[in-house]
Every structure is written in structure tokens, then in C-alpha cells.
Chain A
Amino acid sequence: EPEVTQTPSHQVTQMGQEVILRCVPISNHLYFYWYRQILGQKVEFLVSFYNNEISEKSEIFDDQFSVERPDGSNFTLKIRSTKLEDSAMYFCASSGGSGGQETQYFGPGTRLLVL
């Protein structure tokens, strides 16, 4: 069964460093998403992406964040200058067509620790 994959599974970085989290969505999906979950807290929406541009973003998704689909398969989240509070599990998700109203399938997550 097709699945969303994410790399790396864990990343440790120093405050102020740039990190890139990678995702490979399900191949025929058109909508892509990033979420984060700070330890012990709710899953929070960051951004959605369709047709090579951001379709929605939350207040959390400020100028230090960016997303990109550099090729036909990868979807990346870049954090330019990491802060301690960026430590969280980051989930990528994808869904098919129908305006993003189909089931979202989540990847296993990348656990980011900022020291």
C-alpha cells in the first residue's frame, strides 16, 4: 500500500542552524501538508501546498519557514534559523484531489531537537 515517507526520522541541531525536513508524498496525490506536534501538545497545522504554491498557512508558519517541491517526488520544509521552541515532531501529509477534501495520509514524522 502506498505510504508517505519522511527523512530523517530524527534530527538534532544547534539553535540558529538551518534544517531541511524531507517528505515523499504518495505518488498520485496533489495536496501536501506540514504539521507539527510539540511534545505533549496538539497536532498543529503549518502549511498546505497545491499546484506548486502555498494554498494555506497558519500563524506559526512565519518567515523562517519555507516549503518547496524541488522535483516530482519530494516535498521539503526548511527552517532557516532554528529556535529552541521549534523542537517538535514534524509530520508531512498528502491527499488526492477534490480540493483537498479527501483523506489525508500522514508520514511517520521527523523528530527535531534544537539545542
Chain B
Amino acid sequence: KQEVTQIPAALSVPEGENLVLNCSFTDSAIYNLQWFRQDPGKGLTSLLLIQSSQREQTSGRLNASLDKSSGRSTLYIAASQPGDSATYLCAVNGQNFVFGPGTRLSVLP
């Protein structure tokens, strides 16, 4: 059974810092991995999708990497802004979509 974990559970950084969020999964038989952002009480916004054959994807200040063999993905956020404050979820698509518990990010002005 696929298990997805995310470290850290919460992170608070000053504005302008670069940061890395980590996601680990136990079963490497996946089709893809997707990173989402969730604002309090709101839905999920897709940030990046990495197919299992890819190593990384970039969108603006975001860069996600995937090491399928070791069961890890990272989300790198460059030059963080207060508007980046949210919970970041990774989800692994194998037999079905399994979500991690999320990292709650606070970017302080």
C-alpha cells in the first residue's frame, strides 16, 4: 500500500528565502507525481506534474524534482513571497492518487 510522507510538517521563513519541501513515497511504481497548493478552507491548485520518466519540472519560481527509484520528490521555491503562504501537498499517482499530509508554509514579510 502506497504511503506518502512530507517533511517538514510546517515551515516559517522570512520573505525572499529559497526553500525546499520534501515528499517521500514507498512504492516506486507510479505514473506521475503532482504538487498542489491548498489555501485554508479552499480547494487544491495544481502547481506541477512530473511524469515518472521525467526528472524535474519548472514553472516560474517553482522547480520540482523526482527520483523515482529512491521514492523522493522535492519542491523548490525560489525567492519566497508572503503570497506563497499555504499548505503544499504532494500526490503520487499509481494505482490511484495518494496524498501526503502536506507542509504548511508561512512566509513572513
Contacts and interface: CB of A to CB of B under 8 A. Distances in A.
Interface stretch (A13-21, A37-45, A67-75, A77-85): A37-45
A3 to B, nearest CB: 10
A44 B99 contact: yes
Contacts of B93: 100-101
Contacts of A58: 96
Given A42-B101, A104-B34, A109 B96 contact: no
Q: Which of B41, B43, B98 has the most C-beta atoms of chain A within 10 angstroms of its own C-beta? A: B43
Interface residue range, chain A: 20 to 34
Contacts of B61: none
Nearest to A55: B96
A101 B46 contact: no
B46 A45 contact: no
A48 B95 CA distance: 11
Interface string B25-42: 000000110101000011
Contact of B43 (A44, A99, A100, A106): A106
Q: Which of B95, B96, B98, B100 has the most C-beta atoms of chain A within 10 angstroms of its own C-beta? A: B96
Contacts of A107: 43
A99 B93 CA distance: 11
A91 B36 CA distance: 13
Contact of A106 (B31, B44, B51): B44
Interface in B23-81: 31-32, 34, 36, 41-46, 49, 51
A33 B42 CA distance: 17
Interface string A101-113: 1111111110100
Interface of A: 33, 35, 42-45, 48, 56, 58, 91, 93, 99-109, 111
